[in-house]
Amino acid sequence: MQTFDLAAEGLRELNSTLHAQSEETNQTKWEVVNPRGSHAIAVGLDAPIEVNIKGSTGYYCGGMNKQATVHVHGSAGPGVAENMMSGTVVVEGDASQYAGATGNGGLLVVKGNASSRCGISMKGIDIVVHGNIGHMSAFMAQSGNLVVCGDAGDALGDSIYEARLFVRGSVKSLGADCIEKEMRPEHIEILTDLLARAGSDAKPEEFKRYGSARQLYNFKIDNAY
């Protein structure tokens, strides 16, 4: 285990050190102490390493992640795992706005609640939130899976494309073109796998699925007036 004191050595040195790791590295486990809400911790990683951050972080923690596992032992500010490509980001506490935004792949797990715009414009990422999510989540979500073990706020899935949304609790309101859809066996299978990987004991049968009504895909002359 490599230990890095962020308060003593600074953010630029931390990220430079982590970026220097390769697939052949033997320094696979890192511990970051004294994060003190610093921004952009462990961004742009591209190696199969594990980074444990002992405390809460500011915005964009784990952004653009590839291959790495980033574990935040606290809460995370806006944009955690933003544009993630692969790997895993786990937040033990809560996540602020637009968690997992524009994510292309990988798995984001939030053990607490996530704020507004969770999964906005997601493009293949899997997101599992153990608690609740805020308004406008999954706005323009293109592909991937958003799993919410609690409740969802207003305008869920507004202008959604082909992402799958699974919500266990209540949904305050659905956004434009988002509807409740049938939960088929293949969706139960997807959900079972994601819940297991995220460490949730929720039962897949307790969830409802939401997705696109596909009414915004094509131009309609009536909408021009």
Tens of pLDDT, residues 73-116: 999 999 999 999 999 999 999 999 999 999 999 999 999 999 99
What's this model's pTM, rounded to 2 decimal places?
0.95
pLDDT digits (tens, 9 = 90+) for 35-72: 999 999 999 999 999 999 999 999 999 999 999 999 99
Mean pLDDT of the chain: 96
Across residues 133-151, what is the average pLDDT? Answer: 98
Q: What is the 3-state secondary structure (H, E, C) of the chain?
A: CEEEEHHHHCHHHHHHHHHCCCCCCCCCEEEEECCCCCCCCCCCCECCCEEEEECCECCCCCCCCECCEEEECCCECCCCCCCCCCCEEEECCCECCCCCCCCCCCEEEECCCECCCCCCCCEEEEEEECCCECCCCCCCCCEEEEEECCCECCCECCCCCCCEEEECCCECCECCCEEEECCCHHHHHHHHHHHHHCCCCCCHHHCEEEEECCCCCCCCHHHHC
Q: What percent of the chain has pLDDT over 90?
A: 92
Q: How confident is the model at residue 221 (pLDDT cuts 50, 70, 90)?
A: low
Sort strands 107-110 and 88-91 into parallel, antiparallel or unpaired. parallel
Q: Which domains does the chain have, with CATH numbers?
A: 2-214 (2.160.20.60)
What lies within 8 Å, CB to CB, of 184 at 6+ separation is none
pLDDT digits (tens, 9 = 90+) for 171-193: 999 999 999 999 999 999 999 99
What is the pLDDT at residue 216?
A: 85
Q: How confident is the model at residue 199 (pLDDT cuts 50, 70, 90)?
A: very high
